[in-house]
């Protein structure tokens, strides 16, 4: 945590705009994510990379502040699970660092090593209001996918602000396949790996192989096993979720969250009691596999109502369209989820799951990740008009907007299209 803070401060200090002039962001509706709730005709003041005040439009504005006016103002949204920045084109192997099916290693794979802040999907994600992303590797060689990280979406060098933020482990059907063909094989591998870590010194004294993990993998998994690091378990079936909760009860120190959880609503009270958060795709409402037979478009609503911390993500094309989590959250509202809960699923819930202090809220002292919108952020017709990361106004441009602007009017009467920039 101390290391994290130091890295964060270093990133802020390195930013050339961190100490730019103050900004006053006025919103007809200001959603704060705090006990201040939703403010009509509100104002958020940004200074030196921090939010200095959140209140009515009459709040004092520092001299020389730039004014931004919008329909809605929200905290910078947080994508709780994606592969953004790990691949430029998913189908092009050379340009895809999400997973490594032939690697000798698994838990030791550090996704941050594959992160490229120049990936064109990063501005695309930012332009839809996401200022922070939690990025996970894909598990392809073993059920241990490796180490995920947290980054901002500035696209600048140093935008990863926490490497090894979580360990990613796949259970359920996919875990079964990765472990050799069955759920028992997956659980044997998981327990064996924990055993390797717990007896690390003895087991790896004279050789490199444990029962399940190589020395490097065991070393990488150690913080998770000790409870110092979050583990994201991917699973969908209710019985798989129950097995994860049994495991948690046997290992109370573990810090867990679940990704997927299509049948989560069926075990919601227990998830709430054990304080296991869920990261889900609220579009999932089909029996797409035998692990998702109870999928429902009301999963998010039912989990939230049971008191489970819910983050909403897009698990479909999670590298290039993580930004669709706003539409998915809007649909969760259409299917009964409380609007504030759906907003929290994109802000405070992921901040809480990943321990992102000072993010996901509009509050005095918080980091100034602020988004100004031309409408309700969860409605498909809305989009941000301005995005701030650590107080800095972000360019509202991407490779997509450049292509759009080139072809907005087709005219080759004087020169080919290639000359238009």
Among 126, 183, 320, 367, which residue sits at the site for another protein (rule: CB under 8 A)? 320
Site for another protein contains 289 (CB under 8 A):
yes
Site for another protein contains 52 (CB under 8 A):
no
Cα–Cα distance, 209 to 226 (Å, whole number):
20
Cα–Cα distance, 293 to 210 (Å, whole number):
37
Which residues make beta-bridge pairs with 147?
A: 110, 167
Among 381, 415, 419, 421, which residue sits at the site for another protein (rule: CB under 8 A)? 381
In 10 A of CB 203, how many CB atoms? 18
Site for another protein contains 317 (CB under 8 A):
yes
Site for another protein contains 410 (CB under 8 A):
yes
Nearer CB in complex with another protein: 352/379: 379
Helix (H, G, I), strand (E, B) or coil at 363: coil
Site for another protein contains 274 (CB under 8 A):
no
Nearer CB in complex with another protein: 348/398: 398
Tokens of 342: 């759906």
Stretch that binds another protein, among 27-35, 190-198, 211-219, 316-324 (CB under 8 A): 316-324
In 10 A of CB 365, how many CB atoms? 10
Site for another protein contains 154 (CB under 8 A):
no
Q: How far is the CB of 281 from another protein (least distance, A)?
A: 9
Which residues make beta-bridge pairs with 386?
A: 372
Nearer CB in complex with another protein: 22/375: 375
Q: How many residues bind another protein (CB under 8 A)?
A: 52
Among 74, 309, 327, 394, which residue sits at the site for another protein (rule: CB under 8 A)? 327
Contacts of 211 (CB under 8 A, 6+ apart): 192, 193, 195, 196, 203
Site for another protein contains 403 (CB under 8 A):
yes
Q: How far is the CB of 199 from another protein (least distance, A)?
A: 39
135 and 86 in contact (C-beta within 8 Å)?
yes
280 and 262 in contact (C-beta within 8 Å)?
yes
Site for another protein contains 90 (CB under 8 A):
yes
DSSP string, 220-234: HHHHHHHTSSEEEEE
Q: How far is the CB of 330 from another protein (least distance, A)?
A: 3
Nearer CB in complex with another protein: 222/293: 293
Among 216, 293, 306, 393, which residue sits at the site for another protein (rule: CB under 8 A)? 293
- What b/e string do you get for 18-53 counting C-beta neighbours within 10 Å, with b at 16 or more? bebebbbbbbebbbbbeebebbeebbbbbbebbbbb
Nearer CB in complex with another protein: 301/367: 301
Site for another protein contains 396 (CB under 8 A):
no
Q: How far is the CB of 308 from another protein (least distance, A)?
A: 18
Among 298, 305, 338, 340, which residue sits at the site for another protein (rule: CB under 8 A)? 298
Report CA dihedral (153, 155, 157, 161) to the nearest 10 degrees.
Answer: 10
Tokens of 369: 């990740």
Site for another protein contains 79 (CB under 8 A):
no
Site for another protein contains 285 (CB under 8 A):
yes
User: In Å, what is the CA distance from 270 to each residue of 6, 242, 277?
Assistant: 37, 8, 11
Q: Which of 418, 343, 409, 371 is nearest to 75 (CA)?
A: 371
Q: How far is the CB of 211 from another protein (least distance, A)?
A: 31
Report CA dihedral (197, 198, 199, 205) to the nearest 10 degrees.
Answer: 40
Contact positions vs another protein (CB under 8 A): 88-92, 120-121, 238, 263, 266, 283-290, 292-298, 316-317, 319-321, 324, 327, 330-331, 333-335, 374, 378-383, 400-401, 403-404, 407-408, 410, 417
């Amino acid at each position: 945590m101390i290391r994290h803070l130091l890295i964060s401060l270093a990133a802020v200090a390195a930013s050339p705009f961190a100490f730019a002039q103050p900004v006053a962001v006025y919103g007809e509706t200001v959603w704060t994510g705090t006990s201040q709730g939703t403010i009509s005709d509100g104002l958020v003041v940004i200074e030196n990379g921090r939010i200095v005040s959140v209140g009515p439009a009459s709040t004092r504005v520092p001299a020389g502040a730039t004014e931004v006016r919008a329909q809605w103002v929200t905290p910078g949204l947080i994508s709780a699970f994606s592969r953004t920045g790990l691949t430029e084109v998913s189908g092009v192997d050379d340009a895809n660092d999400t997973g490594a099916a032939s690697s000798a290693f698994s838990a030791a794979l550090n996704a941050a090593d594959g992160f490229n802040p120049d990936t064109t999907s990063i501005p695309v994600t930012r332009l839809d209001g996401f200022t922070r992303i939690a990025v996970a590797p894909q598990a392809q060689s073993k059920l241990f996918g490796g180490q995920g990280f947290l980054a901002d979406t500035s696209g600048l060098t140093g935008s990863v602000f926490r490497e090894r933020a979580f360990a990613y482990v796949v259970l359920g059907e996919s875990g079964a396949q990765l472990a050799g063909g069955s759920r028992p094989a997956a659980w044997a591998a998981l327990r064996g790996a924990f055993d390797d870590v717990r007896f690390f010194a003895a087991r790896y004294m004279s050789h490199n192989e444990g029962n399940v993990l190589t020395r490097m993998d065991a070393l990488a998994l150690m913080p998770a096993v000790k409870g110092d690091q979050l583990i994201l378990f991917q699973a969908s079936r209710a019985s798989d979720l129950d097995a994860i909760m049994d495991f948690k009860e046997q290992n109370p120190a573990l810090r867990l969250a679940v990704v997927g959880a299509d049948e989560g609503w069926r075990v919601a009270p227990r998830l709430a009691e054990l304080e296991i958060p869920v990261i889900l795709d609220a579009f999932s409402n089909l029996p797409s596999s035998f692990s998702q037979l109870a999928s429902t478009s009301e999963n998010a609503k039912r989990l939230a109502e049971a008191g489970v911390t819910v983050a909403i993500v897009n698990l479909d094309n999670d590298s290039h369209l993580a930004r669709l989590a706003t539409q998915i959250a809007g649909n969760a509202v259409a299917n009964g989820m409380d609007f504030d809960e759906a907003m929290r699923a994109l802000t405070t819930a992921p901040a809480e799951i990943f321990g992102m202090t000072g993010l996901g809220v509009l509050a005095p002292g918080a980091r100034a990740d602020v988004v100004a919108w031309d409408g309700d952020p969860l409605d498909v017709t809305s989009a941000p008009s301005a995005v701030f990361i650590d107080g800095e106004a972000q360019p509202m441009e991407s490779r997509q907007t450049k292509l759009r602007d080139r072809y907005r009017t087709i005219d080759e009467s004087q020169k080919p299209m290639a000359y238009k920039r």
